[in-house]
């Protein structure tokens, strides 16, 4: 396991385990900061060449459509190389928006990081 250095306060921790990167995000993500999150996550994917991105959203009470757009862009990018995104520890409002967007069946959603390992 390798801890990754990150530049954004939106990322509370990031680590690489083989071809998997596990990133814990914190705070509300909306139009004001979704571009910052996009930059940070793209940077991590480029640096690590990871094929599986696990996003722990335990500390994310709220996201809006601009944050969803970031997740979709990352998923499209990873899928080109056979990769995937696993979302863990979703809070109710975050899960609710993913359901409205009909993305709850496109992303892999699991209860916690331990469950994400097997996905």
Positions touching other proteins (CB under 8 A) are 28, 30-32, 64-66, 68-69, 72-73, 75-76, 93, 96-97, 100-103, 106
Q: What is the nearest approach in angstroms of other proteins to the Cβ of residue 20? A: 23
Q: How far is the CB of 38 from other proteins (least distance, A)?
A: 11
In angstroms, the CA 71 to CA 68 distance is 5
CB of 51 to other proteins, least distance (A): 19
**Of 14 and 71, CB closest to other proteins:** 71
Residue with smaller CB distance to other proteins, 18 or 96: 96
Report which of 94, 93, 1 is spatially closest to residue 50, judged by C-alpha positions: 1
Residue pair 25/38 in contact (Cβ under 8 Å)? The answer is: no
């Amino acid at each position: 396991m390798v801890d990754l250095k990150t530049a954004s306060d939106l990322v509370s921790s990031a680590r690489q385990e083989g071809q998997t990167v596990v990133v814990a995000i914190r705070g509300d993500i909306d139009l004001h900061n979704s571009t910052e999150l996009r930059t940070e996550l793209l940077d991590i994917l480029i640096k690590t060449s990871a094929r599986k991105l696990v996003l722990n959203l335990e500390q994310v009470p709220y996201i809006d459509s601009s944050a969803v757009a970031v997740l979709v862009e990352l998923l499209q990018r990873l899928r080109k190389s056979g990769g995937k995104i696993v979302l863990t520890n979703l809070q109710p409002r975050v899960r609710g928006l993913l359901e409205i967007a009909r993305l709850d069946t496109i992303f892999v959603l699991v209860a916690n990081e331990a469950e994400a390992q097997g996905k």
